[in-house]
Structure 1
């Protein structure tokens, strides 16, 4: 079998770090605080710390695996190589369903900031269709576009933090009750906030395009995660300090409402611009990434093979991206933002659970981080899944079972465990 052409290795440490950072501080920072406050109130600050610890375990496992398997596909590849085809399928299917919900969440976040009241869902659907059309023409995000996106979002978030500092953070003047919602509420907020951290694996999925991947990917993943944690903590304190936990929970646009509460009404449109840009940038990248993962799974027979078609002119997985756009529009029509975030977290946590299990099988010569981090990441994934909203768990489990049933029926119990060359 003829191997496809290899991708060019052009991404150095700076670009790889910025891609990871851009994936984490995109639209998630504008969307995740409201549902997290609904779950835990001020306890979302503890939830943020828990999500960061779980993310560290997952990130180091992913980076360690990517250094050994620097190819596109992420945990889908790692699961197949270290644990077997079924585990690879669970990771890939978890990624596809989780990131499909992320697409819906990004589109709805864009609409929350950009659409007139009552028009949020139609505007979100138009955004999905428009960006799917862009992807079908072969347009993907480049390192330069990522630099621009990160710069815009960081400027906007710095403005939010500055507004909080100028206001004196009145809601934080009295001692905070961080545990009023109890352990369950705090863990549920951690699961919802994990949605915003999940972009650090983007560096690993670009493994074929990173210079010196064995050295660059682990460093870039850890650097990007560390910077994202600092940014998220600062924004969380600022928003809670200006709106309080009740105001944060009740707001569809908490960052905009926060700067207005601080008396910076002029900054509201700037926040809206930043949220819209971050949402559209994340949505564009997600559509392209899911299309590629779907293509890889279809080539292996883990999804219908007709989804593996590549457009002869534009060289994109056009069938996969068209189907994705239709599914995302359907999700937008029937699911609210919190439901989309919860479902996304379910799928992504399954993905990282497989990545941690795969990392635990690596021999010591391949190990770059202590095994306890992989154990922490895996245990954290299980705990956060268990505390997600029950509706998200039920729907996520049902969709996961559907995927397993499809693979079982299409390949048969006695199908050989082959690893075709890719």
Structure 2
């Protein structure tokens, strides 16, 4: 029998239903459980409008991803799109680095959130030990392969969606019984004035909750019939998540006034507790923990496939582009991902860094919009999914508008990540020139 050897072919294990579940699980994740209160603090009772604005902006870029995922169904995602559009290695490497940063920062942030949920039902366990245990489990699942990861994703997605259904059901019953008249008002906090500026500021934060649909293109090489299934999965996933977000956010500000919701550390848990005091708080806490775990897993998968794809395109060292001979997983990328994610998680700075995630994503989405414009002008008649050229143009403008409404701290942190990326690009360029000279 021939010995196993390393391969560079990923297994196609995703059909359309499992790909949609993957996308919904990635988008829903921990976002709605964490940020709905903060958005209410910015947009007041119009928190649902902030989610609608964010969904519109996300939908325009999702259409761009749908076409690019149909045209170029390869691992590497945004970095591969930009490299195909412009053929500039340093730009592709820089964008890939920024995308990688968003995944790593998100993983670190979510691991700390997971530790918080665990401590809510098992106090006294050190955060760092919970973080390490979480990453050990995620590494094992990711190493085992996409089938195992997809199974865990399905379980976690079912739980997190169930948690949001609980919010919808108990809050709806509460309102039907007249519980929202009058709303509970916290005398220790003040309401935020409502206006379009406040709504757009809320949308800039709400955009964080929609992050995830772009990850679908990173597993395109593991999808059956990707030219058809990738675009459909992107649009279905975003639509399902958006409807749930809008409904949950509207119900939340009916149960609690926006100022009280903004002051809550666990807004949806508090909504459930007021709407149905008999519902076991521990069960909802466990559901929220699984939602956080799911998003962390999907960020891990995305970051590993991103490094793998960039390596195969010659944008990163070639040793990252090899797969395990038995599991067909990009296991070497774990050696880069884990130290960075764990280091950020235990440093205690991830909460500050999380604010830059949406800004970085919006900047990268703007570059994706430009990439589609360039590719569509060069090759105007693709065989698969297609959108009119004005769609990426409008998406570009909308993404930049939301960047303008992001906080100053978020923009400064984004510039910091970009500066580190520039340094890495220069170093990689120097290494490449050295190899050519040798």
TM-score, reference length from structure 2: 0.84
Matching residue of 1:64:
67
Secondary structure of residue in 1 paired with 2:73: coil
Structure 1, 291-300 or 311-320: larger mean CA deviation:
311-320
Q: Check whether the contact 1:75–1:92 (CA below 8 A) recurs between aligned residues.
A: yes
- Establish whether residue 206 from structure 1 lines up as the match of residue 210 from structure 2: no
- Once residues 270 and 395 of structure 2 are traced to their aligned partners in structure 1, the CA distance between those partners, rounded to angstroms, is 34
1:254, CA displacement in angstroms?
1.1
Give 1 or 2 for the bigger CA radius of gyration.
2
1:412, CA displacement in angstroms?
4.8
Query: Which of 128, 132, 136 is residue 130 of structure 1 equivalent to?
Result: 136
Structure 1, 356-365 or 37-46: larger mean CA deviation:
37-46
Secondary structure of residue in 2 paired with 1:161: helix
Matching residue of 2:246:
233
1:52, CA displacement in angstroms?
0.2
- Once residues 172 and 15 of structure 2 are traced to their aligned partners in structure 1, the CA distance between those partners, rounded to angstroms, is 35
Q: 1:113-128 to 2 correspondence within 5 Å?
A: 113-116=117-120, 121-122=127-128, 125-128=131-134
**CA 31–304 in structure 1, closer or farther in 2 if over 3 Å, else same:** farther
Matching residue of 1:343:
356
- Establish whether residue 325 from structure 1 lines up as the match of residue 332 from structure 2: no
- Once residues 241 and 120 of structure 1 are traced to their aligned partners in structure 2, the CA distance between those partners, rounded to angstroms, is 37
**CA 13–133 in structure 1, closer or farther in 2 if over 3 Å, else same:** closer
Deviations 1:108-137 (A, max 9, x none): 332232214686843652344323542574
- Once residues 301 and 263 of structure 1 are traced to their aligned partners in structure 2, the CA distance between those partners, rounded to angstroms, is 56
**CA 75–377 in structure 1, closer or farther in 2 if over 3 Å, else same:** same
Q: How many pairs are equivalent? A: 413
- Once residues 71 and 212 of structure 1 are traced to their aligned partners in structure 2, the CA distance between those partners, rounded to angstroms, is 12
Deviations 1:11-39 (A, max 9, x none): 23222222111111122221221332333
- Once residues 381 and 124 of structure 1 are traced to their aligned partners in structure 2, the CA distance between those partners, rounded to angstroms, is 36
Q: Check whether the contact 2:21–2:154 (CA below 8 A) recurs between aligned residues.
A: yes
Query: Which of 94, 107, 110 is residue 98 of structure 2 equivalent to?
Result: 94
Matching residue of 1:393:
411
Structure 2, unmatched stretches of 5+, are: 1-5, 184-189
1:173, CA displacement in angstroms?
6.1
Secondary structure of residue in 1 paired with 2:387: coil
Matching residue of 1:44:
47
Q: 1:40-189 to 2 correspondence within 5 Å?
A: 40-84=43-87, 85-116=89-120, 121-122=127-128, 125-135=131-141, 137-140=143-146, 141-168=148-175, 170=179, 180-189=193-202
Q: Check whether the contact 2:71–2:227 (CA below 8 A) recurs between aligned residues.
A: yes
TM-score, reference length from structure 1: 0.86
